[in-house]
């Protein structure tokens, strides 16, 4: 079911919508709405099976070029797919980091051997990936990476610590930014390595979040090894490759993300109307603002789709992260005192409480303005690279 030659966008949308309606049934019916931030523990094995079902139908990696095993879909068709996927309530993808980040990075910067080795396994969901960027001293400031890798014969030997590594506990591989030139500083001397996780010298420690779930992890590399050929781009070019990955991170999938946002704000509006909270001026004003800002986000995403202009991704991140955090706050205002209570039966993911959807939204969105590049870093980039203001003092 790869993109058909000559198929109009309307025909493509109808085909995707019909396929999802037919296939999100039977064994997959329970997966509607499952997974996503704060809920990655839900139906994990079943979601892997669902993604392999998508792959068998040719509906994974539809934006990759056909020569790389993808669907060769246009930008418009990729937007349509992500919108329809979200509208259908299809489960969040466990292979997002491989399909949406590493795959396009390998297509842009990888060797033919790397593409042949890794792309089919990503597309078919036979290997899962995690992202080894953030460190205790280098969160949003990626250029401050201190994890090192040295070349010994035909292998890189990696030592250091990564943190906030999503899904590292289930990943087969990690794409790691490491310092490979001793004495180098900032963005110089970094390399982008592909490192297997199942080996001596790799330890994963889950980090328990406010929601009680543990999809983030610390990862410790202590002499972990990977083949010398598993460097993407040339050694020392890791900054350029890593920035390419971050650009792919905020691509067309964000429009599907906004469909999910729209579903959340609609459900919250319905709750406010049902409970009478919408009659309070501050709640009504907050909901009107949320709807308006959601339309602004969509207009910005459509206007800048495919743009490589500096600042585009940073503005998009600031828009959705702050909006989503405020939505969690509105939810708690709508819930009132009831929002402070959680089920203490011990059946929740944390082993202590069960959170409802609004409590989970409020707690997890505290992180939205931090992960993937904090608000402060996004604003620094805009100030320095777009507005030309003086650089912030750095140690």
Q: Helices marked H in the chain — which ranges? A: 9-23, 44-56, 75-87, 96, 103-109, 112-123, 238-249, 253-275, 281-303, 312-335, 357-364, 375-381
DSSP-based three-state secondary structure for 135? strand
Q: CATH number, domain at 185?
A: 2.40.110.10
Task: Supply the angle between the helices 253-275 and 75-87 in degrees, to the nearest 10.
Answer: 30
Question: What is residue 140's predicted lDDT score, i.e. its pLDDT?
Answer: 62
- Give the residue carrying structure tokens 């089920």: 343
What gap in Å lies between CA 220 and CA 163, rounded to an integer? 9
Q: Are 39 and 213 in contact (CB under 8 A)?
A: yes
Question: What is residue 21's predicted lDDT score, i.e. its pLDDT?
Answer: 95
User: Structural domain of residue 62, as residue ranges?
Assistant: 9-93
Question: What is residue 68's predicted lDDT score, i.e. its pLDDT?
Answer: 94
Does 330 lie in the same domain as 302?
A: yes
Does 184 lie in the same domain as 262?
A: no
Does 149 lie in the same domain as 198?
A: yes
Query: What six digits make up the tokens of 65?
Result: 């070029």
Domain boundary among 205, 235, 265: 235
Buried b (16+ CB within 10 A) or exposed e, 98-115: bbbbbbbbbbebbeeebb
Mean pLDDT per segment of 10 residues, for the chain of length 395 residues? 66 95 94 85 93 95 93 89 90 92 95 97 97 81 84 95 92 95 83 96 91 87 96 92 78 75 93 96 96 92 74 84 95 92 55 76 90 83 87 71
Domain boundary among 177, 210, 235: 235
Does 85 lie in the same domain as 204?
A: no
Does 322 lie in the same domain as 290?
A: yes
Does 88 lie in the same domain as 137?
A: no
In a domain, 307, yes or no: yes
Task: Supply the angle between the helices 238-249 and 312-335 in degrees, to the nearest 10.
Answer: 50
In a domain, 104, yes or no: no
Give 120-144 pLDDT, tens digit per residue: 999 999 999 999 988 887 766 677 8
What gap in Å lies between CA 212 and CA 353, rounded to an integer? 8
Beta bridge mates, 134 = none
Query: What six digits make up the tokens of 310?
Result: 């500096």
Residue 343 is classified by DSSP as B
What gap in Å lies between CA 391 and CA 377, rounded to an integer? 12
Question: What is residue 119's predicted lDDT score, i.e. its pLDDT?
Answer: 97
In a domain, 102, yes or no: no
In a domain, 124, yes or no: no
Structurally, the chain folds into a number of domains equal to: 3
Does 155 lie in the same domain as 30?
A: no
The backbone region for 33, taken as left when phi is positive above 0, alpha when psi lies in -120 to 50, beta otherwise, is left
Does 259 lie in the same domain as 175?
A: no
Question: What is residue 276's predicted lDDT score, i.e. its pLDDT?
Answer: 95
Does 185 lie in the same domain as 73?
A: no
Q: CATH number, domain at 20?
A: 1.10.540.10
**pTM of the full structure:** 0.83
In a domain, 59, yes or no: yes
Rg of the chain taking only CA atoms, in angstroms: 21
* Strands 155-162 and 148-152, sheet pairing: antiparallel
Give 26-57 pLDDT, tens digit per residue: 999 999 988 887 788 889 999 999 999 999 99
What gap in Å lies between CA 393 and CA 391, rounded to an integer? 6
Domain boundary among 186, 204, 235: 235
- Give the residue carrying structure tokens 């085909």: 15
Does 200 lie in the same domain as 174?
A: yes
Q: CATH number, domain at 319?
A: 1.20.140.10
The DSSP result for 199-241, as a single string, is STTEEEEEE--TTS---EEEEEEEEEEEETT-EESSTTBHHHH
Query: What six digits make up the tokens of 201?
Result: 């010298």
Nearest Cα residue to 131 out of 185, 192, 70: 192
Question: CB count, 10 Å around CB of 49?
Answer: 15
In a domain, 116, yes or no: no
Does 383 lie in the same domain as 254?
A: yes
In a domain, 113, yes or no: no
Q: Active-site positions?
A: 249
With a CB cutoff of 8 Å and minimum separation 6, the contacts of 316 are 250, 254, 297, 300, 301, 304
In a domain, 58, yes or no: yes
Does 378 lie in the same domain as 262?
A: yes
């Amino acid at each position: 079911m790869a993109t058909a030659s000559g198929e109009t966008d309307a025909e493509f949308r109808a085909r995707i919508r019909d396929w999802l309606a037919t296939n999100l049934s039977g064994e997959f019916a329970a997966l509607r709405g499952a997974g996503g931030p704060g809920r990655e523990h839900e139906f994990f094995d079943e979601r892997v099976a669902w993604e392999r079902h998508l792959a068998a139908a040719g509906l994974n990696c539809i934006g990759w070029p056909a020569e790389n095993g993808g669907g060769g879909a246009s930008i418009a068709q990729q937007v349509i797919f992500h919108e329809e996927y979200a509208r259908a309530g299809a489960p969040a993808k466990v292979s997002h980091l491989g399909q949406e980040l590493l795959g396009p990075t390998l297509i842009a910067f990888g060797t033919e051997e790397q593409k042949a080795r890794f792309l089919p396994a990503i597309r078919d969901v036979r290997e899962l990936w995690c992202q080894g960027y953030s460190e205790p001293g280098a969160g949003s400031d990626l250029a401050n990476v201190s994890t090192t890798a040295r070349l010994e014969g035909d292998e890189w030997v990696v030592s250091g610590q990564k943190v906030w590594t999503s899904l590292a506990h289930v990943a087969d591989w990690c794409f790691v930014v490491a310092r490979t030139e001793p004495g180098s500083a900032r963005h110089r001397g970094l390399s982008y390595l592909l490192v297997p996780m199942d080996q001596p010298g790799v330890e994963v420690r889950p980090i328990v979040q406010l929601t009680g779930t543990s999809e983030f992890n610390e990862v410790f590399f202590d002499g972990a090894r990977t083949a010398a050929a598993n460097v993407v781009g040339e050694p020392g070019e890791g900054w350029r490759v890593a920035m390419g990955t971050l650009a792919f991170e905020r691509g067309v999938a964000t429009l599907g993300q906004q469909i999910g946002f729209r579903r959340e704000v609609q459900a919250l509006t319905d709750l406010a109307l049902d409970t009478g909270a919408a009659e309070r001026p501050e709640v009504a004003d907050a909901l009107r603002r949320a709807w308006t800002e959601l339309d602004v986000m969509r207009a910005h995403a459509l206007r800048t789709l495919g743009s490589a202009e500096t600042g585009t991704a940073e503005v998009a991140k600031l828009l959705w992260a702050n909006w989503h955090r405020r939505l969690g706050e509105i939810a708690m205002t709508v819930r009132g005192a009831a929002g402070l209570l959680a089920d203490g039966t011990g059946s929740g993911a944390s082993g202590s409480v069960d959170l409802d959807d609004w409590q989970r939204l409020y707690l997890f969105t505290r992180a939205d303005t931090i992960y993937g590049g904090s608000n402060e870093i996004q604003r620094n980039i805009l100030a320095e690279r777009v507005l030309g203001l003086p650089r912030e003092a750095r140690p």
